């Protein structure tokens, strides 16, 4: 997927998790759904703002046009509640990058990917 040509279409909190739909470049009929079926902490950034915080997040392993990452050592995950992380352990940090923004997710669940019909 050419992530620079994608964007977030929809985001929904579920009783136990989330779903997020992303543009599939070149398709007017399908969206890529990313879902988690466990509790999540989520950060949505619209566009790619200049950072106003001192972010010491490692950037090793970043690949041009890659959409999804499992991230280790990032500040976003480190600063979340230790009690929450202990309650839902083991948790991982996932990052989904588009040309117009990104979504960080900390969860004890793993992302599930599926193609769905795009709302018309």
pLDDT in tens, 82-97: 999 999 999 999 999 9
- Residue 57 included in any domain: no
- Residue 76 included in any domain: yes
Residues of the chain under the 70 pLDDT cut: 1, 47-62, 120
- Residue 54 included in any domain: no
Given this model, what pLDDT does residue 117 score?
Answer: 96
DSSP state of 40: E
- Per the structure, the complete domain to which residue 10 belongs is given by 3-49+63-117
Give me the sign of the Cα torsion angle 86, 109, 79, 20. negative
* Cα 65–Cα 36–Cα 114 angle in degrees, nearest 5: 55
- Residue 55 included in any domain: no
- Residue 58 included in any domain: no
Given this model, what pLDDT does residue 48 score?
Answer: 57
Given this model, what pLDDT does residue 46 score?
Answer: 82
Given this model, what pLDDT does residue 105 score?
Answer: 98
DSSP state of 73: S
For the chain, how many structural domains are there in total? 1
Contact 26, 110 (CB under 8 A): no
Given this model, what pLDDT does residue 2 score?
Answer: 83
Given this model, what pLDDT does residue 55 score?
Answer: 61
pTM of the predicted structure, to 2 decimals: 0.88
- Residue 108 included in any domain: yes
């Amino acid at each position: 997927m050419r992530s620079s040509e994608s964007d977030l279409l929809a985001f929904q909190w579920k009783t136990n998790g989330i779903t997020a739909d992303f543009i599939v470049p070149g398709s007017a009929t399908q969206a890529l759904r990313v879902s988690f079926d466990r509790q999540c902490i989520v950060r949505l950034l619209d566009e790619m703002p200049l950072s106003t915080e001192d972010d010491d997040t490692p950037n090793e392993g970043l690949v041009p046009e890659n959409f999804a990452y499992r991230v280790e050592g990032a500040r976003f995950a480190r600063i979340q509640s230790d009690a929450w992380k202990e309650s839902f352990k083991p948790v991982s940090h996932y990052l989904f990058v588009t040309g117009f923004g990104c979504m960080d997710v900390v969860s004890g669940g793993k992302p599930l990917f599926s193609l769905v019909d795009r709302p018309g």
